[in-house]
Structure 1
Amino acid sequence: MQQSTNQMICCSEHEMEAQLVILDQEMTQKQRLLCTECISKMEGNYRFLGFQKIKQIIEENQNLKNQVIDNVINQRRDIIQKFQIQIDSYRSIQIQKFDNIISQTNFWIQNLNEIKQKYQSSNFCKEFEILLQNNMQFSQIDEQQIYKDLQQELTSLISNYQPKLAHELNELMETSKLFQATYSIFECFENEEISAFQLDQITPKVEIKYMNKFEKQDEWCYAIQFDKKGQRMISTSNKDIKLWSFNQGKIQLIQQLKGHLNNVTCLLFTPQSNCIISGSYDHTLRCWNINEQNQLISQSTFKEHSGKIHCMILNQLGDQLISSSKDKSIKIWKFDQSVNGLQLQQSLSKHQNEVYSVSLNQSETLLASCGRDQQIIIWKKDQFNKWQFNQIVTQSIQDFGKKLLFLNDDQLIWVSSNNNLEKNSIWFYESKEGVLMENKEKAIHLDGDPNLDYISFPIQYNKEKNLLIVRHKQIIYLLRQSLKGKFVIFAKLPCQDENSYGALSNDGRYLVFWDCLYQNKNKSNGKYLVYELSYK
């Protein structure tokens, strides 16, 4: 849209103010804008957002662009202004030094003239007396004595003025060096441009394409997961689990499974992709086997939690499962892949309220958890492979977050979820001497929204593709890490509601999420949306 966001934008047919925008790339810009008259006559199943929401997103994006431009221009302007001030200061110093040198040399010349006048002055009476003593004959002038007398006074002048002039000249040379150092700031601009060029070369751009294919599902979806090869996808449908085939962005339902007594909230493929583990509001975990006919069969049910399951993760080998729950506990399970069974090994109790999210660091020596008690707790594995309490992370804000993730061994991110607009941020915590500490400089502020963030749609991170995905409230943020180590938002995908849940395929090529505009009990107008990511 070329119009100003403050200008009223109307639909082309009725010339009335637009109320909705259809999110269909195949339509023209004019066809996408709907007024109240258009809405009353609208037929078909379209994905759309309110015009004011689109306007807000555009304005926020423009504000971000303006901030970037302001930062770049203002930073350079400030440096140049400082350069001007410094040069003006150097000029004043130089002028003062030159004035001092000229003044000292003038005094020196004046002293020389005084010596000259002293030795050239003639006293008639004295000279006549000498002439009489020599029988009116002038004796030969003793040049050597004259030189000797002059040299004594000239040497005295040199001893007086030369050190002063040398001092002033040395200070001039030092000022010249300072000037050279000040000029080097322009080299920073050149280096910065080179770094930006290198960043473009090393970090390829990402193109995001909506595939214009969706699968309708009115029932609520709380979790989506891909298998290792990206050929199968599982999702939830209220109490049921759906198994899909996934081929180049096209999804096709294979099977719908029943078994849980309440909404299914968590899903995992095991590393070998021959088993699925599910967690539910019915307080249970279930293991499902995938047979040779690509059918899921429920194997066993495990109930050790006394509250709804919020989060599940597997270690890299796939032999340990960690679950968190509304019952304030974290359960550590041994997973036996030969029988697709779980055995409780340990229960961690430190949180004072429900535990929303857990994450392992890269070497699996640390476990992080966060909950409604506004605490981030770090657990450490001991020599007996048991998890022990390690620390409560100190935070600059008091808020509960529902998502966290270790990016590597020493860096953890946590997303605030409250309705306080000033606290909407991705917060970074880094290990210093074995203690995780907040790094405020890396915090990323997110768009304002008075709603709460929801648990599902966990943080997605593909290190190989340098891609971080965070769904916060009604926006999916796509971020990449710069060469300086700071994550930067490069794209935003708007959702129709904060109840949007999704996943990134393991190869980083596809982002699938379930989105809806309204909900009524366990029904909605939800659908699965597929985006393709191309790395150029």
Structure 2
Amino acid sequence: MNQNCNIPDHETDVEFLCTNEQCKDFRVFCFKCLQNEKHNTHIKDVQKIKDFGRQQINKSDEDLIFDLEKMIDHIYQLFFTLKEELKFGCQISEEELNGLNLNQLNDLLCSKIKFRKEKQSLISMISKSAEYMIETIYTGLNEFSQQQFDRPVKKVKQEMKTLKYELIDTIQDEQINSFAFNQDASLMVGGYESSKIQVFEFKKGQLKMIQQLNFHKKSIYCQYFMKKSDGFLSGSCDKTISICYLNDNQKWDIKQRLEGHQGGINCLLMNRNEDLLISSSDDMLIKFWIKDNDLWECSQTIGGHSSFVSSISLNTTENQLVSCSKDSQILIHQYDQEQKMWMVFQIIKIKQWGRRLCFINDQILVFQPEKREQMHIYQLDSIDKYFVKTKEVIVGVGSERKKNRGCFWFFPQQYVQQKQIVLNKNGCCVNLIKKVENDEFATIQSIDFQTKVIFGRMTDDGEYLITWDDRSGSIQIRKYVD
């Protein structure tokens, strides 16, 4: 830290700080201060400034977090027990009911009415207590936030209150599992649960269907629109990949069908040159396809996961591929130039599996664990060249009546470089997360669809966000507003 000590005759840079709660001296000081025995009575609370930013969580904080987790688990267990009691309280079989005399039946009815009144009273009490607890937590979070330094994340939240995606159109349609746009967003393809594909003209946020295709036997899971040519890919539950092109009659047709996976195709992506296609599947495998005489053929198949592969992403240099699965692993695959093969470079063990991740650049990747209100940030360590988790970003999870249902398939995570925004579907929410200076991230908008069954995509320039959800039963088009 290139700032002189505030004691005039020292004339040297400060390099230490003190975190002792009872300390009355100035907390930032130089080596000469230390030699003069300042802070000598609590030297254990003195540390170098350069170590303060990456300070690890201490034992006291660990104990507090452990106690909090115990309380949460205990509350959850009590709520689960109460839920079961409310669900099955005063239940009686038809056989038992037929065996009751009139007095017993009357007593049963009185008991049920009393139980109903007590149940309503109990729920009301719990609701008030829950509201108080939520308010207390929010108060605490706000106090913590106010005590933080004026960091870039705080600035971006203040400066970007008006930045959001506004709904401009709604179109009723059947379930669409995937969307893909061409480079200038003049065309969009939609892959339907019913197995059909529809090609739309997309102009100023308005959709016009121009062709329907039936190249698959089962549901479409994922799509990719090529940027260098008039072509797109679709992956299906029928275990095949269709490569489509625009023929001489300006109609979309199938050029090649790729087979080889033994499960539904979950993800498709290509490199910038569009001479490498990567697919992942329910069969736990990732396949690499290359062009040979204008036709695609599989050049390599890699494993490593013990469950379906839910997401894949290439880094900027395109020499690393990241993947995640229900097996609670994130795998970093690296291309070996000498052997001309992709190989597992790093295995990251995670506590909670997730369906979505993506590279931001060569140094950063983001991962969304299942049923969590935080998106995890992993950064490349400059020394050992491995990715390590460095921070978490608060994201919305939304609300839904079917509380126990997990997140839903598809809707890949997407980083829009032009707007520096991460599109992150989590639970019932679609989160827009801004990357700001110093590699910080801030959630600028969370759209609660009140259902987990949401699918969507952004245009490559980030101007439009398109979604389909089963609650509205419609395509929703949102436009970027600054």
TM above 0.5:
yes
Instruction: Give 2:349's match in structure 1, choosing from 381, 394, 397.
Output: 394
Q: Percent identity?
A: 24
Q: What is the letter of the counterpart of residue 531 of structure 1?
A: R
1:208 and 2:161 aligned: no
Match of 2:321? Answer: 367
Q: What is the letter of the counterpart of residue 391 of structure 1?
A: Q
- Deviation per CA, 1:320-350: give whole Å up to 9, x if none: 01101111110000146x74x3210000011
Instruction: Give 1:316's match in structure 2, choosing from 252, 272, 276.
Output: 272
Partners of 2:140 and 2:235 in 1: CA distance: 43
Match of 1:457? Answer: 411
1:230 and 2:180 aligned: no
In structure 2, do the counterparts of structure 1 residues 70 and 261 end up closer, same or farther at CA, with 3 Å as the change threshold?
same
Match of 2:144? Answer: 71
Partners of 1:259 and 1:443 in 2: CA distance: 40
- Deviation per CA, 1:240-278: give whole Å up to 9, x if none: 111000000000101110020110111111122401111
1:442 is paired with a residue whose SS is strand
1:442 and 2:442 aligned: no
- Deviation per CA, 1:200-219: give whole Å up to 9, x if none: 77x795232210x222212x
Match of 1:529? Answer: 476
Q: What is the letter of the counterpart of residue 278 of structure 2?
A: I
Partners of 1:206 and 1:61 in 2: CA distance: 27
In structure 2, do the counterparts of structure 1 residues 353 and 248 end up closer, same or farther at CA, with 3 Å as the change threshold?
same
Structure 2 unaligned blocks of 5 or more: 1-130
In structure 2, do the counterparts of structure 1 residues 245 and 352 end up closer, same or farther at CA, with 3 Å as the change threshold?
same
Q: What is the letter of the counterpart of residue 227 of structure 1?
A: N
Preserved CA contact (<8 Å) 2:152 2:437: no
* 1:485 Cα offset (Å): 2.4
Query: Matches of residues 131-530 of structure 1 in structure 2 within 5 Å?
Result: 192=150, 206-211=163-168, 213-218=169-174, 220-237=175-192, 238-291=194-247, 293-335=249-291, 339=294, 341-384=295-338, 385-395=340-350, 397=351, 399-418=352-371, 423-432=372-381, 433-439=384-390, 441-444=391-394, 446-447=396-397, 450-517=404-471, 526-530=473-477
The two structures, once aligned, show a CA RMSD in angstroms of: 2.8
Preserved CA contact (<8 Å) 2:164 2:444: no
1:289 is paired with a residue whose SS is strand
- Deviation per CA, 1:171-208: give whole Å up to 9, x if none: xxxxxxxxxxxxxxxxxx7xx4999779977x795232
Partners of 1:233 and 1:438 in 2: CA distance: 35
Partners of 1:67 and 1:280 in 2: CA distance: 47
Match of 2:79? Answer: none
Partners of 2:172 and 2:156 in 1: CA distance: 43
Match of 2:114? Answer: none
- Deviation per CA, 1:369-388: give whole Å up to 9, x if none: 11121111111100143101
Q: What is the letter of the counterpart of residue 385 of structure 2?
A: G
Partners of 2:416 and 2:134 in 1: CA distance: 25
Preserved CA contact (<8 Å) 2:363 2:379: yes
Partners of 1:59 and 1:257 in 2: CA distance: 54
* 1:483 Cα offset (Å): 2.6
Preserved CA contact (<8 Å) 1:510 1:531: yes
2:349 is paired with a residue whose SS is coil
Preserved CA contact (<8 Å) 1:370 1:404: yes
* 1:490 Cα offset (Å): 1.4
Preserved CA contact (<8 Å) 1:227 1:273: no
* 1:414 Cα offset (Å): 1.3
Q: What is the letter of the counterpart of residue 291 of structure 1?
A: N
1:69 is paired with a residue whose SS is helix
State which drifts further: 316-325 or 287-296. Answer: 287-296
Query: Matches of residues 31-50 of structure 1 in structure 2 within 5 Å?
Result: none
In structure 2, do the counterparts of structure 1 residues 402 and 296 end up closer, same or farther at CA, with 3 Å as the change threshold?
same
- Deviation per CA, 1:480-509: give whole Å up to 9, x if none: 123342211111112142111111011111
Match of 1:126? Answer: none
* 1:463 Cα offset (Å): 2.0
Partners of 2:436 and 2:478 in 1: CA distance: 23
* 1:354 Cα offset (Å): 1.2
State which drifts further: 323-332 or 486-495. Answer: 486-495
Preserved CA contact (<8 Å) 2:178 2:223: yes
2:227 is paired with a residue whose SS is coil
1:71 is paired with a residue whose SS is helix
* 1:444 Cα offset (Å): 3.2
Preserved CA contact (<8 Å) 1:224 1:236: yes
Q: Which one has a larger percent strand, Structure 1 or Structure 2? A: 2
Partners of 2:223 and 2:151 in 1: CA distance: 45
1:246 is paired with a residue whose SS is strand
In structure 2, do the counterparts of structure 1 residues 345 and 266 end up closer, same or farther at CA, with 3 Å as the change threshold?
same
* 1:309 Cα offset (Å): 0.7
In structure 2, do the counterparts of structure 1 residues 249 and 497 end up closer, same or farther at CA, with 3 Å as the change threshold?
same
In structure 2, do the counterparts of structure 1 residues 274 and 308 end up closer, same or farther at CA, with 3 Å as the change threshold?
same
Q: TM-score, normalised by structure 1?
A: 0.60
Match of 1:117? Answer: none
Structure 1 unaligned blocks of 5 or more: 1-57, 77-188, 518-524
Partners of 2:266 and 2:428 in 1: CA distance: 20
Preserved CA contact (<8 Å) 1:60 1:447: no
Match of 1:14? Answer: none
Partners of 2:214 and 2:133 in 1: CA distance: 43
Partners of 2:276 and 2:211 in 1: CA distance: 27
Partners of 2:368 and 2:261 in 1: CA distance: 25
